Amino acid sequence: MRILRYLPLIICSIQFACAQQLEIKNLTGNYYLFTTYQQIDGQRFPANGLYLSTDEGIVMIDSPWDQTQIQPLLDSIEKRHNKKVVLCLATHYHNDRTGGFDYLKSKGVKTYSSLQTLKLCHKYNEQKAQFIFKNDTVFNIGGYSIQTCYPGRGHTNDNILVWFGHDQILYGGCFVKSTESQTLGNLKDADLHSWPKSLRKAMKQFPHPKYVIPGHRGWQSNDGLSHTLQLLRNHKKH
């Protein structure tokens, strides 16, 4: 009887903990940003992903950090939209982008990455996509055109951008730093020499985005590309 008495409290505590690890916010129209968290150096650190609700199902850009965060996200999406995730595309090989791929595949979700990302996933034993594209490509799903773009080396050698041309949304992933960020963050795999050139290429290709979504922290400003370029200049000075 004592166990039953405390069971509702335990369930509420678990639900609250899950809610604290997942946030979903409407960006615009049928686009939503989801944020999951991981403890890094004793700090609760956010990672952004994006999903688009279409008539053919949900398209997700990047996976949460690990598979324990996937099911709460899938449940939240299905409850909100009464639709299932049909496709997930990773923007580079790190586990804050690919960490849920195996679980997603087990749920019948098609997972995609570039060939460069696949090779790095093999090298560093990260979860691998089921389907691969070798060059920049376009996914046409439910009336939406979703374009991938490789700008060049930056945060990693394989980082790509995703462009939603109809609504002028540039998903930058970790290639782009939030304007809230005062440093370049994890530089373990960064190419600091190539990154500025890659940024200028992206700024030329996508000169007037309405939204620029970084891989971490706030996304309310669309100045992420120029801010990242300035951070690189500051880093070079030091």
The catalytic residue positions are 92, 94, 96, 155, 186
Q: How far apart are CA 100 and CA 69, in angstroms?
A: 8
CA dihedral 56, 61, 67, 68 (to 10 degrees): -90
Nearest Cα residue to 128 out of 150, 160, 156, 99: 99
Task: Give strand pairing partners of 124.
Answer: none
94-132: b (≥16 Cβ within 10 Å) or e: bbbbbbbbebbbeeebbbbbbebbbbbbeeeebbbbeee
Cβ atoms within 10 Å, residue 182:
11
- The residue type found at 69 is Q
97: left (phi over 0), alpha (psi -120 to 50) or beta: alpha
